[in-house]
């Protein structure tokens, strides 16, 4: 019988943010960034880039977020690099949020949960991103796995890409926006959790209009788009209001373009966390 986890993801998230600040560092090995570092766009370049960035940033941020696609494009050798990134980041004390945006049904969703949330897997992470657009109930195997293993789940809700509203702003039979229905589901999953639930939302840091959306879900919120993509501290205040303490703003290029200088990446992460300190209660 599997023993219950000693802590939930929500508890670890609150502790990590309290100790290191809310910044989430994205480790996204774009081909252009590899070239900017003077590296070839191959597995050797991927390894030097991803591990160099992870070693520089993971000891100083609360959350480290590799984007799986940039490793998958190199096949099994790229996934091997991703495994090392995950292990290195966790050894350095960062929570690992793997950005995979998986969403399927039945046994396939269960297999994704086993791949990323089960501690027995070589790709086991603290949390993953997920897509709810086959129906929120399709994520149930991931929800159950997260509960069983003390892991987290961040579900797409309100993104800033121009195509997003086609689904997120559609209305259900009772007139509710699909995005708001996703937030409602997450709020129910986090009910009565202390100090914070483990089921988060993905909401853009630079969302054009947050009015009318209740973003207080009792769990963490991943806010991509902070930094190089235009999101500012003032945007975070505007979008999340009093709930900003539960937000982890994500930045990738703002940090990675300082590489391959490890000290420069570290200093930029510390600077951004100092800037974000103004949001803490």
Catalytic member of 90, 101, 148, 257? 101
H helical segments located in the chain: 9-20, 31-36, 43-57, 69-72, 76-91, 106-117, 140-149, 165-168, 178-189, 233-240, 253-256, 262-276
DSSP secondary structure code for residue 207 in this structure:
-
C-alpha–C-alpha distance, residues 5 and 225, integer Å: 32
Our answer to whether residue 65 is catalytic in this structure is: no
Per the structure block, which two tokens stand in for 182?
A: 């996703």
C-alpha–C-alpha distance, residues 143 and 134, integer Å: 15
Please report, for the chain, how many H helices and E strands are present, in that order: 12, 8
Active-site residues: which are they? 101
């Amino acid at each position: 019988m599997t023993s219950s986890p000693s802590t939930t993801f929500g508890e670890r998230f609150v502790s990590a943010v309290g100790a290191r600040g809310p910044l989430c560092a994205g480790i996204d090995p774009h081909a252009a960034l590899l070239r900017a570092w003077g590296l070839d766009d191959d597995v050797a370049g991927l390894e030097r880039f991803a591990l160099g960035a992870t070693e520089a940033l993971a000891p100083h941020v609360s959350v480290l977020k590799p984007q799986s696609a940039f490793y998958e494009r190199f096949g099994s050798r790229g996934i091997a690099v991703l495994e090392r990134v995950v292990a290195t980041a966790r050894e350095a004390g960062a929570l690992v949020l793997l950005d995979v945006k998986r969403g399927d049904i039945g046994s396939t969703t269960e297999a994704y949960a086993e791949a990323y949330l089960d501690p027995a897997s070589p790709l086991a992470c603290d949390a993953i991103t997920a897509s709810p657009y086959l129906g929120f109930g399709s994520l149930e195997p991931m929800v159950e796995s997260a509960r069983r293993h003390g892991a987290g789940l961040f579900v797409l809700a309100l993104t800033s890409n121009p195509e997003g509203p086609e689904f997120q702003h559609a209305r259900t039979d009772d007139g509710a926006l699909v995005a708001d229905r996703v937030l409602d589901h997450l709020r129910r999953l986090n009910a009565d959790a202390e100090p914070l639930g483990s089921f988060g939302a993905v909401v853009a840091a630079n969302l054009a209009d947050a009015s009318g959306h209740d973003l207080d879900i009792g769990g963490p919120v991943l806010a991509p788009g902070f930094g190089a993509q235009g999101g500012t501290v003032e945007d975070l205040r505007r979008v999340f209001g009093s709930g900003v303490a539960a937000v982890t703003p994500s930045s990738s290029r703002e940090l990675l373009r300082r590489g391959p200088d490890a000290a420069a990446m570290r200093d930029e992460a510390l600077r951004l966390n100092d800037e974000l300190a103004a949001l803490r209660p």
